[in-house]
Each structure stands twice: as structure tokens, then as C-alpha cells.
Chain A
Amino acid sequence: MERTHDPAALASICKQIRRHIITMTGAAKSGHPGGSLSAVEVVVTLYWDVMRHDPARPDWPDRDRFILSKGHAAPVLYATLAECGYTPKETLNTLRKFGSIYQGHPDKRFIPALEASTGSLGEGLSVGIGMALAARLDGKDYRTYVMLGDGEIQEGQIWEAAMFASFHKVDNLCAIVDYNKLQLDGFVKEILDLEPLADKWRAFGWHVIELDGHDIPALQKAFAEAAATKGKPTVIIAHTIKGKGVSFMENSPKYHGVAPTPEEVELALKELA
């Protein structure tokens, strides 16, 4: 992999990741394309620019950690790990198939480079706190990033973790909420509204940054601000579009958990050419 700080180069990697997401879920005939597409800029900015990591040394003790707490967005992480060189690109299209390392949800048993097995929502932030506390005990400066879904933070454990992290000043931890406004049953604001979301995190003692989650320079700036913020953890509320990059998938609840048909794959890839 070639790291880059150039937003245009990162945007072009994003496009490649989106193509993988479409072909992978299309081949699998199931999966979660919408919430994978919304998270692309965040994940790509982290892996190609922000995070300290080395695909040749997945167990490097000083590496930054990334936990995909919204584990159903596995395709965006698998495509990223493959493009970085952690896992093979050639088999991405075996996603969800019997015998594939690309399991339905991230599974550490099949991909040791994953920091955690996720899939049951609401748990990843606590796991990230554990890693951040270990870094502190060991006197290491690695940072831990946890990507949360917006629907996911309806889980009560998120708020147990939020309370803990600020009280214990876990400032080597950064959470990102992929606020794409949709969950399986429909619009978040109609299922169980999160608003006022920034106020909630502030009330829980977090440093809050709100931004357009597809704006790469804004993300770069936000991650730098998070790293520079001492004494409290940072949450980046990333306003995103579910299905981003594929016109007919954008803002459509349908593509939370439904894969594109072969015709839709073809159309989508044209848009992402």
C-alpha cells in the first residue's frame, strides 16, 4: 500500500473501495452495502493517511487499532484490508460464502489482522476503551479508533462506555458515528431518534466534532484535532449518506441489508468508473 495525505488520491482509493463493496455484495447476493458505502471516506482516510499501521506486521504492538463496531459494514473493512495488503484481493468476491475468510461479520478467527470480532451491536466502544487503557498502562502512544453505526448507539452499553471513557479521561480513543440516518427498519429519526446527538455526547463529557463524513480534508483535520485533544475522548459525528456513491442506493432503506442484483451491480460500477 502507498500511504497518502492527498485528498484527491484518497478520493480515488474511495472509489476503488466502493467498487469492491458493490461487486462483493453483488457476488454474495446478501450483505449490507448501504452502511458500507457510507463509511468509505472515514475508513480510507484512517487506513491510508491517519493510522500508524503496517500490513507486513499486523501484530505490531505499537500499531493504531481500528474496531468496526458496526460489524455488518464488514465489506468496507474487508475491501480496505485487502487493498492495504493484509488479505488477498482476489478472493474478496467469496464474501459470506462457505470457507471464505470474508465471513458475514468480522471474525478474528479467519482474519487475525482484525482487532476484534464484531457483529453484535453496541459492544465495540467498550472493547476500544480496553485497548486504550492497555496502551496507557504499557506507556504506549498508539491510538484506538472505533466506528459506530447511528442505529447502533441506541444500545445502552454505548452510553455505559461513553460515561466511562470521559470519566477516566481516555483521550487516546476516538469514536466515529457513521450518521447515515437510516437503519434496517427505516429512518433513525422515526425508529428511535438520536437527537440532539452532539449534545448527548457533550453531556457525557466527550469532545465532539461534527462534519460531512464524505469530506476528506475535514476528516483529516478532525482526526488531527482528536489526537491533539487531551483529557477527554473525541467523537466525530460524521454526517453521511447511506449508499453514498451509487445514485439509486443513496438514502434508500432497502440497501441496508439487501445486495444489488447483477443489473444493479453493472449500473453501480458504471457510476463508480
Chain B
Amino acid sequence: MLTAAKYEKKLGAATREAFGRTLVELGRQNADIVVGDADLTKSTMTTYFAKEFPDRLFECGIAEANMVAIGAGLALAGKIPFVSSFSAFVMTKGFEQLRVLVAYPNVNLKVVGTHSGISIGEDGPSQMSVEEIALACALPNFVVLSPADETATRWAVRWAAAHRGPVFIRTGRPKAPIVYNDGAQFEMGKAVELVPGSDVTLVATGLLVAEALLAAGQLEGEGISARVLDIHTVKPLDEDALERAARETGALVVAEEHLVDSGLGVRVAQALAKRCPAPVEFVGLHGYAESGSPDELLDKYDLRAPDIAAAARRALARKG
């Protein structure tokens, strides 16, 4: 376990890069792994798979709905298909197909969204996905994974391939800060307690896990003991860990690179309302962003460690 003050932000591979590399390893192990892409192989990083297994990569052109449905057909015929595009496209243009052809009949399709959140940067809001946690979690039978770094992504992709049923994995464009050591172990549906703490719990997912770790370090300097939970599995949610956090620390912050009205935060609030109501503050997006570098955008839209620390102080102030 880390101590908060010792966390040093160091960039590792982008989570989409880790996805692309892991897919190739899986492809070598299992001939049934096939991939669909919609004219973005060089961005989603399925290009590595395409190079090694050209016959098993189906380039669908710019037609995401068709790609998702072809994926469903491949799965129904016994393949293990991964379909990938920017989250902003595959989850919106493919949503109806995911609903009727995948979620409802519980078909074994894996969907990997890349370039999620606003950290895609310069491309701007039409390419930024800030709704897809809501969309993916809305689909029964889906497991929704949101890995924080390359190590967590490698696990997520391997787990998805081994699991029989639909999975959505949320990955990002920029290099992601390293959170885990190479050998880190994960369990689907189990939050990782990265830092122990007793005053407040910082619940984070994806890119904001590193910011939460930094925030815990800042709070430690103020004498506030902040627990950090990485929610790599957004659905099913680790309600036990959240209940424990509410009982033991009495206040929580949820931090995510997603709209606050429909993301991890509302799911955490729902879980706590059932299990153990506690004050919760929400760090996330309140609308659409704009073009800029990922760092400029994370700063402007208040998705940084100081924003999480400020939210923690607000949550603490609301404790009974």
C-alpha cells in the first residue's frame, strides 16, 4: 500500500496503448479473438493486432452501428470479438445495437472505447466522451471497467477476454500516470484501496485516480487522513468497500472525468443511500468542454488534485 505523501506522478503508457498491446498477446493465445474497428485503428491501437492478425481484424469503415452488430454476429457464431472506436462514437452510434443485440440477449461482445473524457484534448467536444459511463452502466448484463493506468488496463482487457458476457472498457488518449506496479493484482468488482485513511474517502476512476492520490498527499499535509479507492470496476460497483468507507471515514468525494449527473458519482450515491448514507461531494464535469491541451482542460474544468482536496474539505465540513 502507498502512503499518500509518497505518491509521485510519473507518466506511463496511454491506456489505449496498453489495450492495443494486450490485444495482440491475447490474439496469440486464442485464435477466436477477433477485432472490429471503424477507421481508427491507428488511434484505438488495434493497429498492432491488425499487423499481426490481418485476417482477424475487420475494418468496418466509418460505420459504428454496423461494426457493433457484426461483432454480435461473430460472438453468436463462437468468436470473442473486441470492437473498438472512440468512446464518443461507439457508445452513441452503436448504443441501440448494444442494447438489443448484445445486452438483452447477453452476447459475448467486448467494447473498448478510447479517447474517453476531455483529456483527448485538442479535438474538442464532438470527439470527447463524457456520457459513456452512463450509457454503458444503463445496459443490463454489461460489466463496465475503467482502468486507471496501463497495468490496470492490461488486467481489464485480459479479464474481459476470459469473461463470457458483454464488457465495456473505458480507455483514454494521453499517457496515463502510473498508479500500479507491474505485478499488481485486481479482482473484478473489487475496489482497490490505494491509500488507507480515516477522515474522508476519495473515490476515483480512470485518469482521476492519480489526481486523487495527489490530493490525499495534500490533505495529509493538513493533518487530514484521506483514504483513496480506485473504482476500476464501475459496474458491478463494490458496495461493500463504499459502505466500509462511509462507516469508517464518514465522508466521501467522487472524482471522475465524466458528467457528474450521470457517472460514477450517482452510482456511488445510490449505493450509499442503500447501505450507509454519508455526505458526498462530486468532482466531475458539468457540461461540454472545449479544445486545449489535456493539462489545460483538466485545470480549467476543475479535475485536479486541488479540486479533489477542496471537495474533501467540503465533505468533511458536512460530517455530523
List chain A positions with a Cβ less than 8 A from chain B: 61, 65, 107-109, 115-120, 123, 126-135, 137-138, 156-157, 160-161, 163-164, 168
| B77 contacts chain A at the CB level, 8 A cutoff | yes
The verdict on A157 contacting B65 (CB below 8 Å), with A127-B101, A164-B60 known, is yes
List 25 A–B pairs whose Cβ atoms lie within 8 Å, in order of A's numbering: A107-B105, A108-B105, A115-B76, A116-B105, A117-B100, A117-B104, A120-B96, A120-B99, A123-B96, A123-B101, A126-B68, A126-B69, A126-B70, A126-B73, A126-B97, A127-B73, A127-B101, A129-B70, A130-B79, A132-B73, A157-B69, A157-B97, A160-B63, A161-B69, A161-B70
| B71 contacts chain A at the CB level, 8 A cutoff | yes
> Nearest-CB distance from B67 to chain A (Å)?
8
Closest chain B residue, CB of each to CB of A120: B100
Task: Find chain A residues with CB under 8 A from B74 CB.
Answer: 130-131, 133-134
Assess the A164–B61 pair: CB atoms within 8 A. Answer: yes
Task: Find chain A residues with CB under 8 A from B71 CB.
Answer: 130
CA A116 – CA B104 in complex, angstroms? 11
| B280 contacts chain A at the CB level, 8 A cutoff | no
| B118 contacts chain A at the CB level, 8 A cutoff | no
Contact of A133 among B63, B73, B96, B99 (CB under 8 A): B73
Closest chain A residue, CB of each to CB of B109: A130
| B137 contacts chain A at the CB level, 8 A cutoff | no
Task: Find chain A residues with CB under 8 A from B72 CB.
Answer: 116, 126-127, 130
Assess the B70–A133 pair: CB atoms within 8 A. Answer: yes
The prevalent SS among residues of A at the interface is helix
| B66 contacts chain A at the CB level, 8 A cutoff | yes
CA A236 – CA B106 in complex, angstroms? 31
| B78 contacts chain A at the CB level, 8 A cutoff | yes
CA A123 – CA B58 in complex, angstroms? 18
> Nearest-CB distance from A194 to chain B (Å)?
19
| B55 contacts chain A at the CB level, 8 A cutoff | yes
CA A129 – CA B73 in complex, angstroms? 7
Task: Find chain B residues with CB under 8 A from A164 CB.
Answer: 60-61, 63, 66, 70
Task: Find chain A residues with CB under 8 A from B81 CB.
Answer: 130
Closest chain A residue, CB of each to CB of B60: A164
Task: Find chain A residues with CB under 8 A from B34 CB.
Answer: 137
Assess the A130–B100 pair: CB atoms within 8 A. Answer: no
Q: Which 5 A-B pairs have the closest CB atoms?
A: A130-B73, A126-B69, A134-B77, A160-B66, A160-B63
Besides A108-B105, A127-B69, A127-B73, 20 new A-B residue pairs in contact (Cβ under 8 A), listed by A number: A65-B77, A109-B106, A117-B101, A117-B104, A119-B100, A123-B96, A123-B100, A128-B73, A129-B66, A130-B70, A130-B71, A131-B77, A132-B73, A134-B73, A137-B56, A157-B65, A157-B66, A161-B66, A164-B60, A164-B70
